[in-house]
Amino acid sequence: MRREDVVELIKVDLPDHTDGAFDVKIESDDGGTHITILIEDHTNSQQILKAFGDRFSDQRIIVAKVPEGYLDYLRSSRRQSD
């Protein structure tokens, strides 16, 4: 399955796993390309990693716990730079 399709499936299912704001992106680092799930509500971070890591075992998935309000800040920063 294409990485972009996996991202869309995660975006559809993630509201069932967290009550907080989230974002899902394709990123890369020295280890290669991966899917990053950014979450503001840290309560279920381990369950999120397990659920999507098991479901999409052919993909490298990272869960990043970010501070509350961070995703709104990123979105507003992007709009201002456009």
Burial 6-28 (b: 16+ CB within 10 A, else e): bbeebeeebeebbeebbbbeeee
Cα(58)–Cα(3) distance, integer angstroms: 10
Please list the pLDDT of the chain residue by residue as tens digits (82 residues): 999 999 999 999 999 999 999 999 999 999 999 999 999 999 999 999 999 999 999 999 999 999 999 999 988 887 776 6
pTM over 0.85: yes
